[in-house]
A and B are shown apart, each in its own frame.
Chain A
Amino acid sequence: MAVCTVYTAQSLNSIPTPPKTHLGFNQKQVIFYTNTKRKSPNSKRSVTEISCSADKTVVIGLAADSGCGKSTFMRRLTSVFGGAAEPPKGGNPDSNTLISDTTTVICLDDYHSLDRTGRKEKGVTALDPRANNFDLMYEQVKAIKDGVAVDKPIYNHVSGLLDPPELIKPPKILVIEGLHPMYDARVRDLLDFSIYLDISNEVKFAWKIQRDMAERGHSLESIKASIEARKPDFDAYIDPQKQYADVVIEVLPTQQIPDDNEGKVLRVRLIMKEGVKYFNPVYLFDEGSTIDWIPCGRKLTCSYPGIKFAYSPDAFYGNEVSVLEMDGQFDRLDELIYVESHLSNISTKFYGEITQQMLKHSDFPGSSNGTGLFQTIVGLKIRDLFEQIVAARAAAPMAASKA
């Protein structure tokens, strides 16, 4: 829905120039000229200018470690909105951007101020704020939020160089994912919603082993050394962003299997901040109480190691939060639907929507445990948030025009 404002001016022979900053993709300006008295030398011209701009973009921030391509989360999120997210066609093949009908996902690595050689010379990791241009990040995200298209640089992960920029047009929803979406205070204020993906050290180690052992040159030692070397910078710069996030998805090793180190069965905690505008935390049975729930029993049979849920209010870095936790994994469709039917405030549009989304992407990693479930739930929450924001914006000018 577009919001249009009408300007009328009567000026003597002066033609209004369109405001410079508003020339963007989504803005259309129609200028009407009417001549009231033709023949008199000082003909008055009444000028009516109508300026329309589409809704301001909703900006979501996603923070997580290592590269971009939290693609599983992104794909689940864009799938909730409908449509598949793909790299921009015809552009740089090494572009990190993903575009779908409603969403555009930008990788914050594109705002590196130092390329790989630059960082090596200075002895600085990509996690270090000195390697990133926060001024540019702030300017461009602000511009997109205001409906102006920008030329965003591209950081090529293969060559390690900064490639020529690509044009990003303002979408309905902009997702900025990377290492520092909430680091800079100005960028933080632009975010309508923020998510932090917190993977515990044991799980990170297990996942990286799975990812890298097939790679030539890697060994257990090199993987371990890589994680250890990055840890100081990670703890100093990335981890503190947790406190600013509206939602933290914490992934821990399971407590259901003693001494498990495969990282396949996981304990996932969804930590939701209370009091965030347009966001109502998910709860189990009774909001604000403490619940421990094992769905497996008479009505539902689960296979080893079963599923265990917990819900409780808590404090997190000085903020009031609600924590929903799942430990274990889903093996069957009916387990999923059973669990879904007992969760409240999940913002689904129909019964079974979460299950349907999980099934749609059953090949994605995490589809059988809390990571997939909570990512899907967060996706639905974001959709709900987006719709509420749009409705609120639509209501505002109508109220203004009535007044």
Chain B
Amino acid sequence: MAAVSLSTPKVFGKATASQEPNILKFSILNSAWKRGTTNQFRRMYVRPVAAAPDRISGKVEESIKKAQETCSDDPVSGECAAAWDEVEELSAAASHARDRKKESDALEEFCKDNPETEECRTYDN
């Protein structure tokens, strides 16, 4: 059974296996011919896709720093364990958020709820 499904080309950076931390890319419409105008506000800022993971990523980083501080005072205390436990919890949440973002494709999401619309038609020939 052959099915054709269209999906939007993924413009934003895919979650590659790069070691580089998630640097969010803003894409600004490079309309050079419009620069002369006073319309500064017409420049489009595309919101970064990884909005939620970003908020968690920040937390992960913070929590690691806090844990390192807490543990430098007393490495065997309950506070130290609790701090690293928090790091673990946040890392897990961040990884889930990344997986969810990786999976969600705007067109697929839409078609899940509205399979009868034009865009979501599949053809079996």
A363 → chain B closest CB, angstroms: 10
CB contacts (< 8 Å) of B95 on chain A: these are 211-212, 215
Q: A225-B67, A230-B88 are in contact. Are A67 and B79 (CB under 8 A)?
A: no
B43 interface contact, C-beta 8 A: no
Assess whether A69 is in contact with B96, with CB atoms less than 8 Å apart: yes
Binds A, one of B5-13, B29-37, B52-60, B117-125: B52-60
Per-residue CB contact flags for chain A residues 190-218 toward chain B (1 = under 8 Å, else 0) read: 00000000000000000010011111111
Assess whether A127 is in contact with B85, with CB atoms less than 8 Å apart: yes
What is the size, in residues, of chain B's interface with A at 8 Å between Cβ atoms? 41
CB contacts (< 8 Å) of A232 on chain B: these are 81
Assess whether A222 is in contact with B64, with CB atoms less than 8 Å apart: yes
Assess whether A67 is in contact with B96, with CB atoms less than 8 Å apart: yes
The chain B residue sitting closest to A210, CB to CB, is B17
Assess whether A213 is in contact with B19, with CB atoms less than 8 Å apart: yes
Contact of B93 among A120, A158, A214, A217 (CB under 8 A): A158
Assess whether B85 is in contact with A229, with CB atoms less than 8 Å apart: yes
Assess whether A229 is in contact with B89, with CB atoms less than 8 Å apart: no
Assess whether B88 is in contact with A124, with CB atoms less than 8 Å apart: no
The chain B residue sitting closest to A66, CB to CB, is B92
Q: How far is the CA of A69 from the CA of B95 in the complex (A)?
A: 10
B19 → chain A closest CB, angstroms: 6
Q: How far is the CA of A127 from the CA of B88 in the complex (A)?
A: 12
Assess whether A126 is in contact with B85, with CB atoms less than 8 Å apart: yes
Assess whether B93 is in contact with A67, with CB atoms less than 8 Å apart: yes
Q: How far is the CA of A119 from the CA of B63 in the complex (A)?
A: 14
CB contacts (< 8 Å) of A166 on chain B: these are none
B23 → chain A closest CB, angstroms: 9
CB contacts (< 8 Å) of A228 on chain B: these are 84
Assess whether B78 is in contact with A124, with CB atoms less than 8 Å apart: yes
B77 interface contact, C-beta 8 A: yes
Count of A-B contacts judged by CB separation below 8 Å: 112
The chain A residue sitting closest to B78, CB to CB, is A123
The chain A residue sitting closest to B53, CB to CB, is A215
Q: A116-B86, A120-B83, A218-B60 are in contact. Are A157 and B93 (CB under 8 A)?
A: yes
Contact of B60 among A120, A125, A216 (CB under 8 A): A216
The number of chain A residues touching the other chain, given as a range, is: 20 to 34
A69, A116, A158 interface centre (most CB from chain B within 10 Å): A158
Q: A124-B78, A126-B89, A230-B81 are in contact. Are A218 and B64 (CB under 8 A)?
A: yes
Assess whether A157 is in contact with B57, with CB atoms less than 8 Å apart: no
Assess whether B80 is in contact with A229, with CB atoms less than 8 Å apart: yes
Q: Of residues 209 to 254 in A, which have CB atoms within 8 Å of B's CB atoms?
A: 211-218, 222, 225-226, 228-230, 232-233
CB contacts (< 8 Å) of A213 on chain B: these are 19
CB contacts (< 8 Å) of B87 on chain A: these are 222, 226
Assess whether A214 is in contact with B22, with CB atoms less than 8 Å apart: yes
Q: How far is the CA of A39 from the CA of B91 in the complex (A)?
A: 76
B74 → chain A closest CB, angstroms: 10
Assess whether A157 is in contact with B92, with CB atoms less than 8 Å apart: yes
A281 → chain B closest CB, angstroms: 32
A101 → chain B closest CB, angstroms: 16
B77 → chain A closest CB, angstroms: 6
The chain B residue sitting closest to A159, CB to CB, is B59
CB-CB nearest 3 A-B residue pairs: A123-B78, A217-B61, A67-B92
Interchain Cβ contacts under 8 Å between A and B, 10 examples: A67-B89, A120-B82, A158-B93, A212-B95, A214-B98, A215-B21, A217-B62, A229-B80, A229-B85, A230-B81
Q: Add 20 more A-B contacts to A122-B82, A216-B61 (CB < 8 A).
A: A67-B88, A67-B89, A71-B96, A124-B78, A125-B82, A158-B55, A211-B92, A214-B19, A214-B22, A215-B57, A215-B60, A217-B65, A222-B67, A222-B68, A225-B67, A225-B84, A226-B67, A229-B71, A229-B81, A230-B81
